[in-house]
Structure 1
């Protein structure tokens, strides 16, 4: 029987649930998250309260690992070295990334230029570290050869405790600069162009427009990028592992590398887990503080 004119035909059967379809799509990722993130995290939390090693199941020792951690001078040294790395890496990277993003936004929209900017990020971090390690070698590195040619003294970039951690930080600035700049560039594209046009009609300079328009309206995206960058910087490991291995004289022994040494060189899994749990709590607190102080949930565009 045909439907009456002006009325929509009835759909036969039970309407399909969007929730079921959504659960079906996220099921593979959920299984992977539980198997490779949640379960290891819970297991590591349990290990932090035991004297777990590679042999046996480990006995429950309460908070002994945490008490040992707070009295461990090497732990505090590793944390301080990591903080130095983060300050150098984030400070230099964010300033340069904002400058590159603004230049891309105000001067060009070329996809080719964006691709060139992103190229260093596409190279594996271990490869980048090894290339810069050999380029900065005191005897045969091209960097020191150039310094000598222009009349400057050679520098032991990785061999001097005063320059080692800064060198590692600047290497990672070079690699991640393009990626961070493109994230900020995406945020800049959400700023209405008429704001800049109105400011230009009022005679505002590019510098004034940056401080009065770009930076305030970019704040939510900048807060998110800053959190991602800080959390990622605290997890620095591979660059240290393939270049200095924590030296010279613990000058580059970051906290991730210290956890690795405790777990896989000294086989003290309980103590390594305690440090890892402390790092998770620390990063969660830092991220929360950053998001709150930068009011990431509010936008001046509203």
Structure 2
């Protein structure tokens, strides 16, 4: 290697400080500030999420009833889970609820979002649409429980006044669809605003090009709007599915899991095992299985919907 190809390093006299490039100095200066802002959230995540999750996995391998120390039993709780018909029934009931809730909520929310985008962008209207979501879920469930009561509910009084038979909305056949309808009513405004935000990100020039090509409104919706909403819809579907699997309070204040386990969803079954039967080890095993199940479903949704991709990229 010749001296022409080797660049000599600058000499430093004693007492001098090497100069740091401005970009590097700026990066080093931002790191402590960023860490300071992230620290509270990181501590909260570690204390309230990470540590309970790790301890829950450990408890799932033990026999634990709070009154005595945990006793390690290996995979016995998971073996018991495989033969537990109540667990599989709870999983089936939860799946039925998720399908009804996601189907109705997605369709109604999409309709609301399109109406908001096409007809009005008033903040007052958006607030009214979001209002049910701001009410506590227990309050919503109790109000609908009273309104749909078989004997005194105003809904059944109107049905009888119209000449039809009263409906046992919280009976075995109607219980899950009714609970799904209640939660759809509460969450559809929030979901609609998420979709509405996605609609605002679509450039108007795309619709102008579709109109020039002679595309109808219906064809434009299916060929232009829905494909461009794919990243937003992927987020909405993941959040909706995970939230639907976590349904608990509506069931707890209305049916209590009945009649005859017709509404005993998986979250309510975990609660029953932990706080009514004091089988905390078995409840932890149920929770661990549910976590793996939800993680797998979310991963499949993100992969199948290609959530990281956007047709607007590069436009």
Q: If the TM-score is normalised by the length of the shorter chain, which range does it land in?
A: over 0.9
Matches within 5 A, 1:96-135: 96-135=108-147
Runs of 4 or more above 4 Å deviation? none
In structure 2, what is the equivalent of residue 267 of structure 1? Answer: 278
In structure 1, what is the equivalent of residue 244 of structure 2? Answer: 233
Q: Within 2, Cα distance between the matches of 1:17 and 1:65?
A: 51
In structure 2, what is the equivalent of residue 86 of structure 1? Answer: 98
Provide the alpha-carbon RMSD of the alignment.
1.3
| Aligned pair partner of 1:62 in 63, 67, 74 | 74
In structure 2, what is the equivalent of residue 251 of structure 1? Answer: 262
Q: Within 2, Cα distance between the matches of 1:288 and 1:238?
A: 26
1:200 CA displacement: 2.1
Q: Within 2, Cα distance between the matches of 1:150 and 1:195?
A: 48
1:107 CA displacement: 2.1
Q: Within 2, Cα distance between the matches of 1:291 and 1:248?
A: 36
Q: Within 1, Cα distance between the matches of 2:120 and 2:229?
A: 19
Q: Within 2, Cα distance between the matches of 1:176 and 1:133?
A: 17
In structure 2, what is the equivalent of residue 41 of structure 1? Answer: 53
- Structure 1 residue matching 2:37: 3-state secondary structure: helix
| Aligned pair partner of 2:210 in 199, 202, 208 | 199
In structure 1, what is the equivalent of residue 311 of structure 2? Answer: 300
Q: Within 2, Cα distance between the matches of 1:201 and 1:137?
A: 54
Structure 2: unaligned runs, 5 residues or longer: 1-20
Q: Within 1, Cα distance between the matches of 2:186 and 2:34?
A: 36
Report the structure number with the largest CA radius of gyration.
2
Q: Within 1, Cα distance between the matches of 2:277 and 2:66?
A: 10
Count of residues paired in the alignment: 290
1:27 CA displacement: 1.0
TM-score normalised by the chain length of structure 1: 0.94
In structure 2, what is the equivalent of residue 278 of structure 1? Answer: 289
Q: Within 1, Cα distance between the matches of 2:161 and 2:202?
A: 47
| Aligned pair partner of 2:107 in 85, 89, 95 | 95
Deviations 1:83-106 (A, max 9, x none): 000000001000111111111112
Deviations 1:18-73 (A, max 9, x none): 11101101111111111111111111100000001111221111100000001000
